[in-house]
């Protein structure tokens, strides 16, 4: 099996996104922290983080299947081995914490639905566990994998992908206008709509050589993500259009991170003049988003001004990066390597741990922070560096034994 190259810039972003989700939930659980404006702002960005997870997943899965050359069954098997152990462990952990804080376990149907990845926050089929709401995204992610297996590994690949895109776009319209039912139809319409965000990442990696890798304009547009996510088109309950837009504008920076690490890709994409032309195009997008934001937003004035100013921080960040002559990468890439690796268990494990620690120290924020951080990071490191490799090794050994037995027969 060919081992696919990891892009540690992307791993760093994925790790930071997981940390953002954990911080947002910590502030949500310790609501007294919302009296501080900056923390209140951070606590409202959990959904943006999940959308970035979807885009990153699309990029990484395309990279993986392009380099590892799986067949259909091998792809599904590899994805299930990756996501199910940590996910099922998080359900056990959540159940134990719920019992410890006197919250009853859900009924058998809900337990079964969570076990087989059909739980959502909206409860289309079943609800997520009370103390593990982040698990909803795994219901979506698992279906994205099945859709890739159904379409990419078919002899009629482009026809099936076209069907997927058409159904996804129709689902976006239905979800945006809330013209759908609960139950199985609502569940799969929601997944199909959000799969357009996942496909954004998948397509971006496929066409990565078409992007011109200039750091400043790419980072400027990336920091416009919170701006885009606060545009509530037609004031519907679901902001799927804003979230798709957010996924699209995150792509240039994510692709820049790939290009900056890949020796055979363009790093700075040509002349400075071209860079400023690209920046002018992205600035036009920023102006359009700003106009839409003030026309169609439910956010507070403080939030509006903050997300409008945020992209301009890119100039400071790029100046520091150039002043250090890239030496900051010596910190970012190793940290990204660790953060990216533990990002998945961190995403799943943090919520019940924070709740349990809160029950032990209900009035002491400092203890809550220190104990929650230590317990979560320790559990994630142990699981990702010890438990998951043993699981991988076990199933790889079974696969090799089965292949050997088949060849002998």
Q: pLDDT tens digits for 216-261? A: 999 999 999 988 888 776 555 567 888 899 999 999 999 998 888 7
Give the span between the Cα atoms of 401 and 405, in whole angstroms: 6
Does any domain span residue 409? Answer: no
Number of domains observed in the structure of the chain: 2
Residue of 378, 350, 257, 298 lying closest to 29 (CA atoms): 350
pLDDT of residue 380: 96
Residues forming a β-bridge with 120: 127
For the ranges 122-136, 259-273, 307-321, 345-359, the maximum mean pLDDT occurs at 345-359
Does any domain span residue 376? Answer: yes
Q: Which residues contact 273 (CB under 8 A, 6 or more apart)?
A: none
Both tokens of 259, joined, read: 């290009």
Does any domain span residue 317? Answer: yes
Both tokens of 381, joined, read: 């490191």
My answer on whether 201 and 237 are in the same domain is no
My answer on whether 46 and 101 are in the same domain is yes
Does any domain span residue 11? Answer: yes
pLDDT per residue as tens digits for the range 141-195: 999 999 999 998 888 888 999 999 999 999 998 887 765 567 888 899 999 999 9
Which of 294, 323, 352 lies at the terminal end of a domain, its last residue? Answer: 323
My answer on whether 399 and 301 are in the same domain is no
My answer on whether 40 and 174 are in the same domain is yes
My answer on whether 98 and 161 are in the same domain is yes
pLDDT per residue as tens digits for the range 180-225: 567 888 899 999 999 999 999 999 998 888 877 788 999 999 999 9
Give the span between the Cα atoms of 8 and 280, in whole angstroms: 29
Task: Tell me the residue range of the domain where 263 lies.
Answer: 210-323
My answer on whether 27 and 156 are in the same domain is yes
pTM comes to: 0.89
My answer on whether 24 and 130 are in the same domain is yes
My answer on whether 291 and 347 are in the same domain is no
Give the DSSP letter string of 317-341. HHHHHHHTTTTTHHHHHHHHHHHHH
Q: Which residues contact 365 (CB under 8 A, 6 or more apart)?
A: 30, 32, 33
Average pLDDT score, the chain: 86
Give the distance from CA 286 to its chain's centroid.
Answer: 23
What would you report as the CA-atom Rg of the chain, rounded to the nearest whole angstrom? 22
My answer on whether 197 and 214 are in the same domain is no
pLDDT of residue 164: 95
My answer on whether 144 and 173 are in the same domain is yes
Does any domain span residue 70? Answer: yes
My answer on whether 264 and 333 are in the same domain is no
Both tokens of 189, joined, read: 């319409």
């Amino acid at each position: 099996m060919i081992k696919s190259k990891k892009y540690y810039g992307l791993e760093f972003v994925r790790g930071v996104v997981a940390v953002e989700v954990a911080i947002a939930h910590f502030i949500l659980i310790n609501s007294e922290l919302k009296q501080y404006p900056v923390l209140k702002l951070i606590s409202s960005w959990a959904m943006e983080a999940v959308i970035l997870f979807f885009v990153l997943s699309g990029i990484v899965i395309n990279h993986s299947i392009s380099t590892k050359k799986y067949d259909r069954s091998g792809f599904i098997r590899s994805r299930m081995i990756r996501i199910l152990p940590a996910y099922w462990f998080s359900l056990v952990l959540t159940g134990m914490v719920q019992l410890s804080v006197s919250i009853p376990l859900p009924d058998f149907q809900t337990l079964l639905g969570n076990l087989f990845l059909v739980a959502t926050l909206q409860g289309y089929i079943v609800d997520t566990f009370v103390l593990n709401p982040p698990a909803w995204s795994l219901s979506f992610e698992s279906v994205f994998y099945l859709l890739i297996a159904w379409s990419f590994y078919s002899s009629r690949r482009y026809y099936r992908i076209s069907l997927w895109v058409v159904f996804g776009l129709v689902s976006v319209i239905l979800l945006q206008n809330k013209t759908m039912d609960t139950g199985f139809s609502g569940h799969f319409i929601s997944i199909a709509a959000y799969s357009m965000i996942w496909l954004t990442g998948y397509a971006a990696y496929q066409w990565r050589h078409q992007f011109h890798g200039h750091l400043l304009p790419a980072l400027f547009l990336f920091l416009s993500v919170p701006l885009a996510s606060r545009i509530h088109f037609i004031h519907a309950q679901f902001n799927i259009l804003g979230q798709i837009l957010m996924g699209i504008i995150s792509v240039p920076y994510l692709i820049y991170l790939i290009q900056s690490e890949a020796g055979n890709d363009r790093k700075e994409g040509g002349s400075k003049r071209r860079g400023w032309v690209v920046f002018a195009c992205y600035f036009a997008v920023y102006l359009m988003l700003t106009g839409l934001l003030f026309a169609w937003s439910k956010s507070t004035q403080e939030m509006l001004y903050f997300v409008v100013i945020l992209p301009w921080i890119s100039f400071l960040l790029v100046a520091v990066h150039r002043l250090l002559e890239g030496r900051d990468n010596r910190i970012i890439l190793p940290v990204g390597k660790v953060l990216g690796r533990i990002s998945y268990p961190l995403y799943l494990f943090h919520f019940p741990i924070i709740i349990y620690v809160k029950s032990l120290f209900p009035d002491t924020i400092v203890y809550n922070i220190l104990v929650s951080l230590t317990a979560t990071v320790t559990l994630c490191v142990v699981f990702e560096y010890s438990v998951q490799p043993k699981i991988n090794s076990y199933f790889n050994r079974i696969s090799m034994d089965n292949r050997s037995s088949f060849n002998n027969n």
